[in-house]
Amino acid sequence: MMASVVCGVTAVAAAEEGATLEGGGRNGAPTHLLTEYQTNPIELMETKPRFSWRLRDERRDAMQKYIAYLEARTNYAASRCWPVSIRRCGDNMKNSIAISLGVSILGAAHFAIAQPTTAPSPQVPEQQQLVAKQRAFPTAEGFGAYTPGGRGGKVLFVTNLDDSGPGSLREAVETPGPRTVIFRVSGTIQLKKRLSIKEPYITIAGQTAPGDGICLAGYDLLIGTHDVIVRHLRCRPGDLTPGERDAISVFAAENVIVDHCSASWGNDEQLSTWRSKLVTVQWSFITEALHNSTHHKGNHGFGSLIQCDGASYHHNLYAHNRSRNPRPGSGRIDFRNNVIYNWNGMAGYAEDNKQQVNYVNNWLKPGPSTVEHRDIAFHTGR
């Protein structure tokens, strides 16, 4: 059974090497197995039960030779694709056949042929390539999960709640170079202007603040660069200062993840991603838009605009926003496992342009303000 799957991959390998199935492949490929077992693995299981349940010693040896050949061709340990029972080829083969079939088809065909290991790029050090494949933190998921943030850089401490100056959050944000921001204080930072993240490679670790954590008030937070991690912040711009603003905006950015943040009291959207690439917003509150406030259009309290080439919004709570929960624009967007509660107009709808959206497993519950469109979760806009 398992040799039939292996031989299916051998056919591809032999064809690449210019060998015929009957005459044997180059580099020691055991293509003599192909003349008898180059059929579909499912068909083989139905038509050749003797071969499926117990491999004879010589066929087991031939398969092991093929594994060695495959490892030599692709620089990949093909034996990792097989369960232990395939090596033993004993009486427990029948019990493991279903698991073995799935692992071997997906494992061998995908890893050994579709994605052969390549040498590291000479322009990028091997250590840097390995770091780039690490998650931002263990629970990071989605398009922005692999941003390094400030990993490997200096550690900066926020020691006061001032808007600017030594020891302030703004000073840490504006410092160039990789950095991780740690909080030694908790409370509300009354911003005197927008807090803009323009210097790349930064991790803002809001979870390190003691007590009740950190809240940004008065103005908004703008992420406008690449490789940014923002965690455990509350953003409440309010409408006491003039202007129209989201609580958190990701604009012209790349490789960004926003995790366990709370975005509320903006008089436009609450947390939007615009003209960006590879962004994740996860496990966050996107709530309580200021609907009848100071926006020049009048009633204008919404959830999220999403225009991004690779945006993941998952496990977020949208509550008490008029609409746009969310409003996706162009790009590739994955919107799943979110809770949407108490919308007022249309819960969510799309722009009239080309877009690719996964809208999966979201839970919507009408609330007291949901007086219309209670039965429409999302409108395509077309």
Residues with a catalytic annotation lie at 324
Q: Which of 212, 196, 237 has the alpha carbon at shortest distance from 204?
A: 196
Buried b (16+ CB within 10 A) or exposed e, 29-65: bbbebbeebeeebeebbeeeeebbeebeeebbebbbe
Please give the Cα distance from 248 to 269 (Å, whole number).
Answer: 8
- Count of beta carbons in the 10 Å neighbourhood of residue 252: 14
Question: In terms of Cα–Cα distance, which of 341, 339, 340 is closest to 368?
Answer: 341
What is the Cα–Cα distance from 186 to 158, expressed in whole angstroms? 10
CA–CA distance from 275 to each of 186, 225, 250, 254, 286 (Å)? 33, 11, 8, 9, 20
Q: Determine if the peptide bond prior to 30 is cis (ω within 30°).
A: no
Residue 340 has φ and ψ, to the nearest 5°, of: -125, 125
Using alpha carbons only, what angle is made at residue 252 by residues 249 and 256, rounded to the nearest 5 degrees? Answer: 70
Q: What is the phi-psi region of residue 16: left when phi exceeds 0, alpha when psi lies from -120 to 50, beta otherwise?
A: alpha
Number of alpha helices (DSSP H) and beta strands (DSSP E) in the chain? 8, 20
DSSP code per residue over 197-217? E-SSSEEEEGGGS-TT-EEEE
CB 280 within 8 A of CB 144: yes
